[in-house]
């Protein structure tokens, strides 16, 4: 796999948020390791889904990968360039190539700015283009996302949720990025609006050669739009595979639980779900993670050894990786079959 | 609910709704009327005052201590000047104090608060602690000190008041900015590469404009009151300037036999502050509901 | 005497706003049998919360106005009762699970304090005179505390002793929702209204809550009106589904049947919009929700419906029986079914 095939790749990425200082002493409340050692590759023009529940770190990963946050460890390579330590002008120049679309339609738009002002902002920062050209581009972008021209004068409070998300998308497209990180773009929308936004995203991906990093908790959407899926739990990837494989052959107990919990509408869908698994307990807090397997407390398939070892991500099939002790045992047998074992050791 | 077509909705615009709601509150209307009247009086003082020269330095000893009459609606003072004219001209001074103090406070305080909240770090610590220090200075004491060192006059008293007024705006801007900066759209701007000053002044500031506006409206009244207090104490405008506070102070001595000397300027102060309060409250109620939408 | 536990007949609710009259609920008809779980399904703005509030009597009456309709609960029309009588009836027999676990609990009181308040109000424990007068601290109020602990255990909360003395902020979303369910089960309600209780929760937590609800309401034989926008969740829990659109119930029927073979064009469109594990295509529904200030004439769905005809523009349809226990509100139903 040549590096240029990946638009974005991160290796051993860490992002921790420092705890608050306690009064005047130097002590702090424990840090939150939102992203706790993630390896990820996003190929050009694919849709890579990041799946997880709250506390999984998926949003932080998305934001760190495109340098909205600065990583606390690891490397990020974008289009062949190392962007981990970028700052100042270099960082600003990079920003136009990777943009983000946010989850909450209401808070992601400045209520005091018109649609046109919101979309123009990136144009003004990056382009040395006249205001007339900016207006043309704004109208072009509005058309791309399916909004009529007069909408440029409107303010967010007079827009519906779906319309606001379209404006957010138009703004993300303004600098002609090659990668868009989408943070649950439809979870705040009604189902009938969601379907239209999803098809808009699919069309745009074709037309503009876009690569998507799609963050969501909705596995039904993932099944329909993602090429590759990474399942996250407590800041780490616990399973990663081509979407087809993940759904037809989930390995990690958490993935199985997640799949089993999807509310389905028809009997046929039931056949695509694994056997019933109900997890007990709550998601542990990222500020208090165990040193052994993070999923141990809720796992239905745990073994005695799981409490002693922190499993590494292991390849079980071509392009299918799992972080679970049950599969680490197989490493010995499979060493013969697959030349790659843990990530980071590739040629 | 909105249509996807471009036609404008049949709703009243935000502004029309605001007017409608405002008009439902009689007290707010009264406040607004008072403020408008006083502003008009201040602007057109030379044309409204029956005896404009009295406001400055004319003296008519023969006419002193006349009670209110048709010729002199507010009576005359100890040197025979028409109290009404002096009160009218005094409105100019009061408004000047109110506007200047608030303007300085906003221009100094709001940017500091924004920087402290958004930039954070050392800036935040320095600015907020400095603000705390200035907040602990009692305005009257400072004004007295300033008067002792420099000449006591209107300008110096205005500066003294401003000195102790701006920290409140730092606090307000700081608090508002802290919550606004958590909104997603700020992160959006950062991810797009906007500069810090753009974010502070073009993104965050417009979102606190309504809260600021309410405070400004209320503060103009209070600043006027403070200016009048200083005048009353003798460290503000000096006689013969027709500042309301000074007039009350001088008239106080004669309260028993010429009540009109102190009463009318006092009433003027009262009305102005009342008007500013009523209007400011009305604005705030209005904006609270707007926020809820 | 009918044996329905709840029957809503021709409910119509208007809201008076600055911009005019919003005719939010045009016509809602709903029937719930005792021990039955019925799902009220619809998208944002369809009026399902307004309907729930009308049943609970918590609509703010100006600006809301209940133009007509009957809400018959336990054989009494709630809308015609005096406030005091209605409150008395509801207190005995109806309960409510609110939507947002984050904000529905008072942050400055412990779980125990909030539950004991409820327990006292429902007189579910032998409080004694001292307890009534609030003389002793509630923690010493053994009967009330015991009842609270029992209920917390009943909703599968581990370590209830610890939870009962905790503040809401110390609990996770899933725990808080369980507490809210426990609070709804204080007293002997025979009917529960659940307003999207799992919307704000993660999907694995949601599963646990749904399992719990299913078990408990079956044990107690409670009828439930489950409001949600998620068809999958409704399928999990409800025997019947009522689909709402723009202030009307447009279709109702047994869950599995309705989902496999929807009749109303809106329901068909809704089901077609959901991405499915089978990778069937999903398309949205053209158009947007109507403006309640100027609602469309006739059938409110007609501007978005491809089967619309003249009659649909002129006359609002009403629920008609099209199968066993299946009702659809559509003029054109025969032509495309």
Residue A340 predicted with pLDDT over 50: no
- What pLDDT was estimated at residue A347? 31
- What pLDDT was estimated at residue A330? 56
Alpha helices by DSSP H, listed for chain A, are 58-65, 88-95, 115-126, 131-144, 161-173, 191-208, 219-225, 243-248, 253-260, 267-270, 325-328, 331-334
- The nearest CA of chain A is from the CA of C224 a distance in Å of 19
- What pLDDT was estimated at residue B191? 87
Residue C287 predicted with pLDDT over 80: yes
- What pLDDT was estimated at residue A336? 43
Residue C302 predicted with pLDDT over 70: yes
Question: Sorting pLDDT into bands at 50, 70 and 90, what band is A146?
Answer: very high
Q: Show which subunits contact A, needing at least 3 CB pairs below 8 angstroms.
A: B, C
Chain C neighbors of B4, CB-CB under 8 A: 287-288
- What pLDDT was estimated at residue A2? 52
Average pLDDT over residues A286-314: 83
Average pLDDT over residues C156-164: 90
Task: Answer whether A220 sits within 8 Å of C229, measured CB to CB.
Answer: no
- What pLDDT was estimated at residue A345? 36
- Residue A45 CB partners (closer than 8 Å, separation 6+): A205, A209, A210, A211
- What pLDDT was estimated at residue B1? 39
What ipTM was assigned to the predicted interfaces of this complex? 0.85
Chain B neighbors of C44, CB-CB under 8 A: none
Question: Sorting pLDDT into bands at 50, 70 and 90, what band is C142?
Answer: confident
- What pLDDT was estimated at residue A277? 83
| Strongest mean pLDDT among A28-37, B12-21, C319-328 | C319-328
User: Does B10 contact C at CB distance below 8 Å?
Assistant: yes
Task: Answer whether C202 sits within 8 Å of A54, measured CB to CB.
Answer: yes
- The nearest CA of chain B is from the CA of C309 a distance in Å of 22
Average pLDDT over residues A146-153: 92
Average pLDDT over residues C10-26: 91
Taking the CA atoms of residue C102, residue C227, residue C111 and residue C210 in that order, the dihedral angle to the nearest 10 degrees is -100
Average pLDDT over residues A182-207: 93
In this structure, the strands spanning C191-195 and C94-97 are parallel
Nearest CA in chain B to C44: B1
Task: Answer whether C288 sits within 8 Å of B2, measured CB to CB.
Answer: yes
- What pLDDT was estimated at residue C182? 93
In this structure, the strands spanning A73-78 and C64-73 are unpaired
Q: Where are the domains of chain B?
A: 12-287
- What pLDDT was estimated at residue A285? 73
Lowest mean pLDDT among A207-221, A310-324, B14-28, B107-121: B14-28
DSSP B76: B
Residue A343 predicted with pLDDT over 50: no
Residue A334 predicted with pLDDT over 70: no
Q: What is the pLDDT of residues A237-287, one digit of tens each?
A: 999 999 999 999 999 999 999 999 988 888 888 888 888 888 877 777 777
SS (H, E, C) C12-76: EEEEEECCEEEEEEEEEEEEECCCCEEEEECCCCCCHHHHHHHHHCCCCCCCEEEEEEEEEECCE
Average pLDDT over residues C103-124: 87
Q: Which of A229, A283, A323 is nearest to A53 (CA)?
A: A283
- The nearest CA of chain B is from the CA of C98 a distance in Å of 21
Rounded Cα gap, residues C277 and C73, in angstroms: 40
Task: Answer whether A258 sits within 8 Å of C206, measured CB to CB.
Answer: no
Average pLDDT over residues C305-313: 90
- Residue B26 CB partners (closer than 8 Å, separation 6+): none
- Look over chain C and give the mean of its residue pLDDT values, rounded to a whole number: 89
Task: Answer whether C288 sits within 8 Å of B12, measured CB to CB.
Answer: no
Chain A neighbors of C172, CB-CB under 8 A: 282-283
- The nearest CA of chain B is from the CA of C38 a distance in Å of 28
Question: Sorting pLDDT into bands at 50, 70 and 90, what band is A15?
Answer: very high
Residue A161 predicted with pLDDT over 70: yes
- What pLDDT was estimated at residue C18? 79
Task: Answer whether A108 sits within 8 Å of B184, measured CB to CB.
Answer: yes
Cβ burial, residue B63 (10 Å; 0-12/13-18/19+): middle
The partner residue sitting opposite B17, judged by closest CB among C18, C287, C292, is C18
Q: Does domain B12-287 have CATH number 3.40.50.10440?
A: no
Q: What is the pLDDT of residues C82-110, one digit of tens each?
A: 888 888 888 889 999 988 888 899 999 99
What pairs with residue A183 in β-bridges? A215
- The nearest CA of chain C is from the CA of A155 a distance in Å of 18
Task: Answer whether C292 sits within 8 Å of B1, measured CB to CB.
Answer: yes
Task: Answer whether A95 sits within 8 Å of B191, measured CB to CB.
Answer: yes
C25: tokens are 């609920």
Cβ burial, residue C304 (10 Å; 0-12/13-18/19+): buried
Question: Sorting pLDDT into bands at 50, 70 and 90, what band is C333?
Answer: confident
In this structure, the strands spanning A236-242 and C223-228 are unpaired
Residue the block writes with tokens 């949720």: A161
Contact C48, C42 (CB under 8 A): yes
Lowest mean pLDDT among A111-120, A325-334, B232-241, B252-261: A325-334
Nearest CA in chain A to B184: A108
- The nearest CA of chain C is from the CA of A87 a distance in Å of 36
Q: Which of A274, A280, A283, A266 is nearest to C207 (CA)?
A: A280
User: Does C19 contact B at CB distance below 8 Å?
Assistant: yes
Q: What is the pLDDT along chain B (293 residues), one digit of tens a residue?
A: 344 433 334 556 667 777 777 888 888 899 999 999 999 999 998 888 888 877 777 777 877 888 888 888 888 888 888 889 899 999 999 999 999 999 999 999 999 999 999 998 899 999 999 999 999 988 888 888 887 888 888 888 888 899 889 999 999 999 999 999 999 999 999 888 888 999 999 999 999 998 999 999 999 999 999 999 988 988 888 888 889 999 999 899 888 888 888 999 999 999 999 999 999 988 888 777 665 54
- The full set of domains in chain C, from first to last, is 6-105+189-286 (3.40.50.300)
- What pLDDT was estimated at residue A142? 95
- Look over chain A and give the mean of its residue pLDDT values, rounded to a whole number: 86
User: Does C19 contact A at CB distance below 8 Å?
Assistant: no
User: Does B3 contact A at CB distance below 8 Å?
Assistant: no
């Amino acid at each position: 796999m040549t590096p240029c095939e990946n638009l974005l790749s991160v290796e051993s990425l860490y992002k921790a948020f420092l705890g608050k200082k306690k009064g005047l002493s130097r002590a702090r409340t424990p840090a939150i390791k939102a992203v706790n050692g993630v390896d990820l590759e996003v190929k050009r023009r694919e849709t890579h889904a990041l799946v997880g529940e709250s506390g999984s770190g998926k949003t932080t990963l998305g934001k760190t990968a495109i340098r909205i946050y600065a990583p606390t460890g690891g490397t990020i390579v974008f289009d062949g360039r190392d962007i981990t330590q970028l700052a100042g002008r270099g960082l600003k120049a990079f920003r136009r190539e990777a943009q983000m679309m946010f989850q909450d339609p209401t808070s992601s738009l400045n209520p005091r700015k018109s649609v046109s002002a919101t979309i123009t902002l990136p144009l003004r920062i990056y382009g040395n283009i006249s205001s007339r050209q900016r207006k043309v581009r704004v109208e072009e972008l509005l058309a791309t996302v399916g909004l009529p021209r007069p909408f440029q004068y409107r303010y967010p409070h007079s827009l519906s949720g779906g319309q606001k998300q379209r404006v957010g998308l138009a703004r993300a497209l303004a600098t002609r990025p090659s990668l868009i990180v989408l943070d649950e773009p439809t979870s705040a929308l009604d189902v009938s609006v969601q379907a239209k936004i999803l098809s808009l995203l699919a069309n745009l991906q074709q037309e503009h050669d876009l690569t998507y990093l799609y963050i969501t908790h909705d596995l039904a959407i993932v099944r329909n739009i993602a090429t590759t899926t990474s399942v996250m739990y407590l800041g780490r990837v616990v399973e990663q595979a081509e979407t087809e494989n993940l759904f037809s052959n989930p390995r990690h107990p958490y993935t199985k639980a997640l799949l089993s919990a999807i509310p389905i509408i028809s009997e046929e869908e039931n056949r695509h779900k694994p056997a019933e698994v109900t997890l007990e307990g709550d998601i542990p807090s990222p500020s208090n993670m165990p040193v052994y397997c993070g999923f141990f407390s809720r796992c239905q398939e745990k073994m005695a050894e799981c409490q002693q070892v922190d499993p590494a991500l292991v390849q079980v099939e071509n392009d299918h990786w799992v972080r679970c002790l049950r599969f680490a045992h197989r490493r010995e047998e499979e060493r013969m079959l697959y030349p790659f074992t843990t990530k980071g050791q590739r040629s | 609910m909105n249509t996807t077509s471009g036609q404008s909705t049949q709703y009243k615009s935000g502004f029309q709704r605001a007017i409608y709601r405002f008009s439902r509150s009689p007290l707010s209307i009264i406040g607004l009327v008072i403020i408008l009247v006083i502003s008009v009086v201040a602007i057109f003082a030379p044309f409204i005052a029956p005896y404009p020269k009295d406001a400055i330095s004319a003296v008519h000893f023969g006419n002193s201590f006349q009670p209110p009459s048709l010729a002199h609606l507010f009576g005359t003072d100890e040197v025979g000047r028409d109290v009404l004219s002096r009160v009218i001209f005094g409105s100019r001074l009061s408004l000047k104090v109110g506007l200047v103090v608030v303007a300085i406070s906003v221009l100094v305080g709001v940017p500091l608060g924004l920087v402290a909240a958004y930039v954070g770090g050392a800036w935040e610590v320095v600015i907020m602690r400095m603000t705390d220090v200035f907040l602990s200075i009692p305005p009257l004491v400072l004004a007295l000190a300033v008067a002792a060192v420099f000449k006591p006059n209107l300008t110096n008293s205005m500066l003294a008041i401003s000195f102790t007024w701006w920290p409140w705006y730092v606090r307000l801007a700081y608090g508002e900015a802290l919550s606004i900066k958590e909104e997603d759209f700020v992160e959006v701007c950062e991810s797009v590469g906007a500069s810090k000053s753009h974010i502070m002044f073009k993104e965050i500031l417009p979102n606190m404009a309504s809260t600021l506006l309410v405070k400004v409206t209320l503060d103009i009244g209070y600043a006027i009151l403070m200016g009048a207090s200083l005048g009353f104490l003798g460290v503000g405008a000096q006689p013969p300037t027709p500042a309301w506070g000074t007039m009350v102070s001088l008239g106080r001595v004669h309260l028993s036999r010429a009540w009109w000397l102190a009463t009318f300027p006092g009433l003027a102060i009262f009305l102005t502050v009342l008007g500013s309060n009523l209007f400011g409250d009305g604005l705030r109620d209005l904006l609270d509901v707007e926020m809820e939408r | 005497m009918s044996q329905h536990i709840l029957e809503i007949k021709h409910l119509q609710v208007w809201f008076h706003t600055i911009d005019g009259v919003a005719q939010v609920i045009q016509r809602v008809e709903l029937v719930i049998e005792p021990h039955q779980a019925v799902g009220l399904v619809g998208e944002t703005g369809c009026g399902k919360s307004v309907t729930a509030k009308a049943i609970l009597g918590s609509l703010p009456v100006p600006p809301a106005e209940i133009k007509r309709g009957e809400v018959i609960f336990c054989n009494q029309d709630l809308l015609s009762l005096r406030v005091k009588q209605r409150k008395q009836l509801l207190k005995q027999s109806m309960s409510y699970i609110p939507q947002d676990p984050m904000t529905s609990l008072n942050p400055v009181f412990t779980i125990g304090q909030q539950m004991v308040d409820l327990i006292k109000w429902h007189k579910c424990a032998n409080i004694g005179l001292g307890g009534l007068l609030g003389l002793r601290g509630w923690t010493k109020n053994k009967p009330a505390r015991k009842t609270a602990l029992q209920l917390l255990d009943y909703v599968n909360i581990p370590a209830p002793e610890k939870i009962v003395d905790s503040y809401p902020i110390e609990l996770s979303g899933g725990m808080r929702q369980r507490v809210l369910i426990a609070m709804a089960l204080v007293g002997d309600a025979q009917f529960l209204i659940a307003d999207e209780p799992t919307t704000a929760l993660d999907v694995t937590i949601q599963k646990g809550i749904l399992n719990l609800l299913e078990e408990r309401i079956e044990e107690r034989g409670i009828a439930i009106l489950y409001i949600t926008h998620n068809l999958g969740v409704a399928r999990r829990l409800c025997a019947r589904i009522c689909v709402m659109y723009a202030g009307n119930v447009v279709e109702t029927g047994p869950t599995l049947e309705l989902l496999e073979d929807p009749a109303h064009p809106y329901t068909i469109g809704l089901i077609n919009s959901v991405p499915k594990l089978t990778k069937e295509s999903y398309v949205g529904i053209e158009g947007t929700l109507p403006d309640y200030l100027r609602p469309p004439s006739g059938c409110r769905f007609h501007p978005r419906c491809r089967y619309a005809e003249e009659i649909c523009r002129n006359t609002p349809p009403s629920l008609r029986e099209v199968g066993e226990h299946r009702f659809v509100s559509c003029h054109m139903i025969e032509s495309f079914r």
